[in-house]
Amino acid sequence: MRLWKTAGMVPLVLVLAAGSAAQDINIVSTNTLDMRTPVAVPVFAADDPGLAEIAKEMSEVVAYDLDFSGLFKLLSRDQFPPGFGRLPAKVQALDFTAWRATKAENLVYGKVARKDDSYVCEFRLFDLFSRDQVFGKQLRVGIKHPRLAAHKFSEEIIRNIEGVPGIGTSEICFSAGPTGKKEIYVADYDGANARQVTRHGSISIKPKMSPDGNKIAYLSYKERYCYLYVFDRRTGVSTPLSREPGLNAAPAWSPDGKTIALTLSKDGNTEIYLKSPDGSNARRLTRNRYGDTSPTFSPDGRRIAFVSDRGGTPQIYVMDVDGGNVRRLSYQGGSAYDPAWSPDGKHIAYVAERSGEGLQIYLMNADGTEPRRLMNPPRGNSESPSWSPDSRHIMCMSTITGRKRLWTLNATTGEARPVARLDMRCEGPSWGPRRN
């Protein structure tokens, strides 16, 4: 079986030296080496003609997930074998000779059947070089959730190729609605199945999904003033997290879901506190005359990155979870806001405001080294970065096309794409965990 270790568009730079230093010749190629794995995802087979549309939808979901990952390059329909019609109902009838003659290195096979109130889905991934099955799985899902089975399979394809599963089953939450009225919504990561979860008839914004995906911390003016609440998705009930005088903002869940870091101004300036999700057990972390806000936990729960203007302009700092050992991380120039720690612990995404750039998403190593802007050249204004569970992508709100929409950025290549099935004015995304 062939192994793939690198993916994405990798710059190719050649430097040739000839003769003396004065005659050195530098040749820089603007071409890139595409390391993505070519894969074919034909429309899946169906046991019954009545399931043809469901089979088609499932194949489209798998194809989108693989393409979105940045690890695979999809073959177009005209690159399939000449005369190819559809996948056979029996996998033994696959024409591997014909598929090996294409540019594909992998072939995805799927078949859908119905049993009672469920879809029974057969999925397989083949290596066309060896004709071996790399991975196979049978999944059963309720008839209301056909896309979930496809998302689960795409996650496993990526796990088998790269070692870390994809994010097909993950969800996002965000705020949306007309001016003066915004509610909290939840959707699949690709924007499908969007549904409103709060109905306060007010302004509810900046949601943050808990590590287990069952709760959402958010800001709301539903009691006239801006307070913090926690919405339980299982019960549909919102309970107060913080209703202190002044600012209540910027909630961030600890990795174990037992603690929420937040920003309060009841002390005269903004300080960072810790609380239990029920609002109890308040503990103050920062104590100075400067503004401290926007906390985000490291994946091990031992450190918190945050924003402070103690150096003159807002910048990213980091401290131990008890408030000690504070040091500055961001030195990219301008101001820095909204840090978000990657799930693998290696990077921190944040918003930088620099002259001539507006608000742009930047990425740096967790120790503050190697800061870089993700989009080149910069377009629109972007804010509220949130990481995918696999640390491969960052979701944000951006005005790339002139209006506020949710976009994703590939953390390696900087490729930007709008959340496909979410054509609405959205803000403040939070990327949740994978579903079981």
Domain annotation covers residue 46 = yes
Same-domain check for residues 395 and 349: yes
Co-location of 186 and 154 in the same domain: no
For residue 241, being part of any structural domain is answered with: yes
**Do 229 and 144 share a structural domain?**
no
Measured distance CA(275)–CA(258) in Å, rounded: 9
Q: How far apart are CA 244 and CA 259, in angstroms?
A: 18
With b for 16 or more beta-carbon neighbours within 10 A and e for fewer, the 79-105 pattern comes to: ebbeeeeebeeebeebeeeebeebebb
259 and 377 belong to one structural domain: yes
Distance CA 213, CA 167 (A): 14
Task: Indicate whether 149 and 183 sit together in one domain.
Answer: no
Cα distance between residue 320 and residue 309, in whole Å: 18
Residue 24 lies in a domain: no
Where does a domain end: 162, 191, 209?
A: 162
| 207/141 same-domain check | no
Amino acid identity, residue 100?
R
Prediction pTM value = 0.91
The radius of gyration of the chain from alpha carbons, rounded to an integer in Å, stands at: 24
Same domain, 176 and 96: no
pLDDT in tens, the chain (436 residues): 333 333 444 333 333 333 333 333 333 333 467 889 999 999 999 999 999 999 999 999 999 999 999 999 999 999 999 999 999 999 999 999 999 999 999 999 999 999 999 999 999 999 999 999 999 999 999 999 999 999 999 999 999 989 999 999 999 999 999 888 999 999 999 999 999 999 999 999 999 999 999 999 999 999 999 999 999 999 999 999 999 999 999 999 999 999 999 999 999 999 999 999 999 999 999 999 999 999 999 999 999 999 999 999 999 999 999 999 999 999 999 999 999 999 999 999 999 999 999 999 999 999 999 999 999 999 999 999 999 999 999 999 999 999 999 999 999 999 999 998 998 899 999 999 999 8
Domain end residue (candidates: 98, 133, 162): 162
CA separation, residue 118 to residues 43, 152, 279 (Å): 20, 16, 41
| Total domains, the chain | 2
Looking at the fold, whether 273 and 309 belong to one and the same domain comes out as yes
CA distances to 94, 207, 234, 288 from 197, in Å? 45, 11, 11, 38
How many C-beta atoms lie closer than 10 Å to residue 208's C-beta?
24
Output 298-301 pairs: Cβ under 8 A, ≥24 positions apart.
298/341, 298/345, 298/366, 299/255, 299/341, 299/342, 299/343, 299/344, 299/345, 300/255, 300/345, 301/254, 301/255, 301/256
Q: Has residue 150 been placed in a domain?
A: yes
Give the structural domain span for 43: 34-162
- Boundary of a domain, candidates 128, 162, 196: 162
Residues 197, 249, single domain; the answer is yes
Query: Could you write out the DSSP letters of every residue in 77-93?
Result: GGGSPTT-----SSGGG
Query: Per the domain annotation, does 359 fall within a domain?
Result: yes
What are the residues whose beta carbons fall under 8 Å from the beta carbon of 152, sequence distance 6 or more?
A: 137, 139, 168, 169
On whether both 132 and 258 belong to a single domain, the answer is no
Is residue 12 within 8 Å of residue 31, measured between CB atoms? yes
Q: What CATH number should be reported for the domain holding residue 222?
A: 2.120.10.30
Q: Is residue 414 part of a domain?
A: yes
Q: Which residues contact 268 (CB under 8 A, 6 or more apart)?
A: none
Instruction: Based on the fold, state whether residues 279 and 350 are members of the same structural domain.
Output: yes
The answer to whether residues 303 and 199 belong to one domain is yes
CATH number, domain containing residue 148: 3.40.50.10070
Residue 287 lies in a domain: yes
Q: Is residue 426 part of a domain?
A: yes
Residue 350 and residue 337: Cα distance in Å, rounded?
6
Token pair for residue 327?
A: 């040091």
